[in-house]
Amino acid sequence: MLALTLGVALWAGERILPHGPAVEVRAHARQWVWTFTHEGPDGPVETEGVLHIPAGQPVDVLITASDVIHSFWVPQLGGKMDAIPGRQNRLRIAADRPGTYEGLCAEFCGLEHGAMRFEVIAHDPALWPPREGSQ
């Protein structure tokens, strides 16, 4: 019975994971701000406090930190991953449709922790990647 339960759990867990190639973006945390980098039509684009992703596609967020432990969390897109100095963690997220989603640091990281928030803007795939300075 245990083997059957384990098999069903593995099958169900595998089905909820996004499959196929994913867009990679970088999220770097430091007290008390997030910096994001994604590929643009003319090379890498860096933004502060705003992460741009394509809607309807899996996105691998490569998460790093430079000072203390932070935690990348976008409740509407699921999953939470720590940002640890000297380590790169990978979190796969996906937005079903274009829109703006609120993200935050979910690990107490100092006096301004409560203000360490960011936005995720999921763009229509036809408009991906956005140009620098676009919203």
Query: Looking at the domain assignment, is residue 135 inside a domain?
Result: no
Tokens standing for residue 126: 């036809």
Task: Please report whether residue 88 resides in a domain.
Answer: yes
- Residue 109 in any domain: the answer is yes
Name the amino acid, one letter, at 81.
M
Could you tell me the CA-to-CA distances from 125 to 3, 9, 11, 130 in Å, in that order? Answer: 41, 32, 29, 10
In a domain, 107, yes or no: yes
Q: Is residue 102 part of a domain?
A: yes
CA distance 2 to 21: 33
Q: How many domains does the chain have?
A: 1
Q: What is the pLDDT of residues 56-110, one digit of tens each?
A: 999 999 999 999 999 999 999 988 999 999 999 999 999 999 999 999 999 888 8
Strand order in the sheet with 23-30: 43-48, 33-40, 23-30, 59-65, 89-93
What pTM does this model have? Answer: 0.82
Confidence of residue 118 (pLDDT cuts 50, 70, 90): very high
User: What would the pLDDT profile of 15-58 be if each residue is shown by its tens digit?
Assistant: 556 567 899 999 999 998 999 999 888 899 999 999 999 999 99
- CATH classification at residue 46: 2.60.40.420
Identify the CA nearest to 66 among candidates 45, 40, 86.
Answer: 86
Q: Which domain holds residue 43?
A: 22-127
4: in domain:
no
